[in-house]
Amino acid sequence: MNKLNGGVTAPEGFFATGIACGIKGNGKKDLAIICSEDSAAAAGVFTTNRVKGHSLQLTMEHIKSGYANAIVINSGCANACLGKKGYADALEIAAITAGLLECEPNDILVGSTGVIGKPLNMELIRPGLEALVSGMEPEGGHDAQEAIMTTDTIFKEIAVEVELTDSSIVIGGMAKGSGMIHPNMATMIGVLTTDANISRRLLDKALKEVVEKTFNRITVDGDTSVCDMVLILANGMADNAGIIDEDDDYLAFKKGLEEVCNYLSRRIARDGEGATKLIEVVVENAASPEDAHKAASTIATSPLVKTAVFGEDANWGRIITAVGYSGVEFDPDYTDIYIGDILVCKNGCAVDFDEGAAKEALKKDEVKLLANINKGVYSDRVLTCDFSLEYVKINSSYRS
């Protein structure tokens, strides 16, 4: 597998761009399009929040056909909690774009991210869509990436080339997301593109399995949002023999997809609002996969654990406490805890550890916290970030 430059426009036959149409009000890009030359097989994973943004609702309908031509995403406004007007606006975006691209509204997927409860300014978006479609470029992936960002501070795009038995294919991806990231899919939007020729059924299967292991294993603050989705378009232009069975080519494709999604999800966790560090929480030897996940998530969402890591304070008591209230089966007397590589708690008891070394481990850019609960054979890991003063500053005045 080779890393390539670029993101969603790295695979053959994809065009994209991003513009500032005025939704954000600060002159920053806020409208993006990602378009396939031909109709592409499409699959998506959507927020599990019972409240769903209107653009997302529309996309869940449109993707049922299994094919799509383009994805339009705006930032600066979530288009959520607005009743019929919200859905009508999303539909109008799809209809205008379809008219410009000469396809059906049903072939357009729409996404929105930003503040809830404020209507989309369609006066700005209508002319914006025209400018967007006329500005599409085969190298426009980066502009599209910029236009879907909200509180993001780092870019999140990647492309990889994957060797199949008879040819090579490319998978590209971009994402936005920094606050409210939590399984499943909170305030994050991921767009993946590939020129692979793959059946719609296997595209869907691969996406769901990979998202479960990557995007659904990150958390910033435990909140899950109403607009979050990961979409993939596969336009088949690489001319590989079609992937229609779970054969070696399928596995190679899935591995490439996992590489892309893993990179993007780590970038999101690292970019958690106000974050200064990436935290990898590992729980080992739980009684069930569910317990492993629950314990890791509980540690990863504990504000006390996250503030301790921010302060580089080896307060492992907060880690075992989090396992204790996570509700999983375990006996504290058989639990070991590590900060980085340093054993700080053995069989539920404090051990004399080198505070300086623990401090060093906590000073790193990526901090690993491990709880081995010695109850079974299942492990899991969750990525998160520390909880800083900056997080509170950003989120205390998000709408302002």
By CB under 8 A, the count of residues binding a second copy is 65
What whole-number distance in Å separates Cα of residue 194 and Cα of residue 242? 13
What whole-number distance in Å separates Cα of residue 350 and Cα of residue 288? 26
Q: Which is nearer to a second copy, 49 or 75 (CB)?
A: 49
With contact defined as beta carbons under 8 Å apart, do 253 and 169 qualify? yes
Of 17, 59, 97, 187, which is the active-site residue?
Answer: 187
Interface with a second copy includes 154 (CB under 8 A)? no
DSSP string, 79-123: --S-THHHHHHHHHHHHHHHHHHTS-GGGEEEEEES-TTPPP-HH
Q: Which is nearer to a second copy, 117 or 289 (CB)?
A: 117
H or E, element range at 76: none
Backbone CA torsion sign across 45, 127, 172, 190 = negative
Interface with a second copy includes 301 (CB under 8 A)? yes
Interface with a second copy includes 74 (CB under 8 A)? no
Query: Six-digit token pair at 23?
Result: 């939704």
Query: Six-digit token pair at 268?
Result: 């999101």
Ranges of H-type helices in the chain: 54-62, 84-101, 122-134, 141-147, 200-213, 248-270, 289-301, 303-310, 317-325, 355-363, 389-395
Interface with a second copy includes 180 (CB under 8 A)? yes
DSSP 197: -
String marking each residue 237-276 x if it binds a second copy according to CB under 8 A: ----------------------------------------
Point out which span in 16-24, 88-96, 123-131, 341-349 binds a second copy (CB under 8 A): 341-349
Point out which span in 37-45, 148-156, 194-202, 295-303 binds a second copy (CB under 8 A): 295-303
Q: Binding to a second copy (CB under 8 A): which residues in 353-392?
A: 387-389, 391-392
With contact defined as beta carbons under 8 Å apart, do 223 and 256 qualify? no
Interface with a second copy includes 79 (CB under 8 A)? no
Point out which span in 98-106, 190-198, 250-258, 300-308 binds a second copy (CB under 8 A): 300-308
Interface with a second copy includes 288 (CB under 8 A)? no
Q: Binding to a second copy (CB under 8 A): which residues in 10-39?
A: none
Query: Six-digit token pair at 196?
Result: 């692979």
Known catalytic residue at 298: no
Q: Binding to a second copy (CB under 8 A): which residues in 112-131?
A: 115-119
Orientation angle between helical segments 289-301 and 303-310, nearest 10 degrees: 60
Interface with a second copy includes 222 (CB under 8 A)? yes
Helix (H, G, I), strand (E, B) or coil at 70: strand
Bridge partners (DSSP) of residue 315 are none
Interface with a second copy includes 90 (CB under 8 A)? no
Q: What is the CA radius of gyration of the chain?
A: 22
Point out which span in 123-131, 146-154, 206-214, 321-329 binds a second copy (CB under 8 A): 321-329
With contact defined as beta carbons under 8 Å apart, do 366 and 278 qualify? yes
The footprint of a second copy (CB under 8 A) covers 48-52, 78, 80-83, 115-119, 179-180, 182, 186, 221-226, 301-304, 307-308, 310-311, 313-318, 320-325, 330, 332-333, 345, 347-350, 387-389, 391-393, 395-400
Task: Tell me which residues are annotated as active site.
Answer: 187
